Amino acid sequence: MRYIICLLIFVFSGCAMDYVCSSHIVNNSSTDIKVDILFDRESLEKIVKNRNYIKAIEYYNEQIGQPVIFDSLTLKTTFTIPKNNKSEISHTPGGRGITPDYSIIKEIVIFSNNQTKIYPKESFDTLFKEVQNGEWQLIIK
């Protein structure tokens, strides 16, 4: 009886797991890259009711995993991704089969190898590719 109870606990604990979906910018180039994330003020105002979205962005910036510079006037976060490294830019909780939520990001600008690439919000769904269940990546070469 004891083994059956342990087996049931094991089976049901796996069913109760929360799934998350994360998006990363992956730097596979031979040099460090600089990334600017411009936040969407209107989307933030809708999500954060008390208009204290600066705190929400500060929390967001902590999840990136790199030291950041944040400009509160333009709502822009700037950070560097070292070569052969990655940084998380979206962490979406939910159930199985969810897709990333980029609603608070207005634009991503990537500076690499003397090139500047600007990616508007509308391109994110095709720009980031799913590499495994729950993980999406934008790979910079």
pLDDT number for residue 51: 64
pTM for this prediction: 0.80
Predicted local confidence at residue 38, as pLDDT? 96
Q: What's the rounded Cα separation, in Å, for the pair 8 and 24? A: 36
| pLDDT of res. 65 | 77
Q: Which of 85, 97, 79, 92 is nearest to 35 (CA)?
A: 79
Structural tokens at position 17: 């797991």
At 109 the pLDDT is 97
Q: What is the pLDDT along the chain (141 residues), one digit of tens a residue?
A: 555 554 444 444 444 455 778 899 999 999 999 999 999 988 888 887 766 778 878 888 888 877 899 998 999 999 999 999 999 998 888 766 788 889 899 999 999 988 999 999 999 999 999 998 889 999 998
d(CA 54, CA 85): 27
Contacts of 118 (CB under 8 A, 6+ apart): 107, 108, 109
> Which of helix, strand or coil describes residue 22?
strand
pLDDT at residue 129, as a whole number: 94
Please choose, from the candidates 11, 57, 117, 17, the residue with its C-alpha nearest in 3D space to the C-alpha of residue 138: 117
Per-residue confidence (pLDDT) for residue 8, from 0 to 100 = 42
pLDDT of 7: 42
Q: Is the dihedral of CA 97, 103, 107, 108 positive or negative?
A: negative
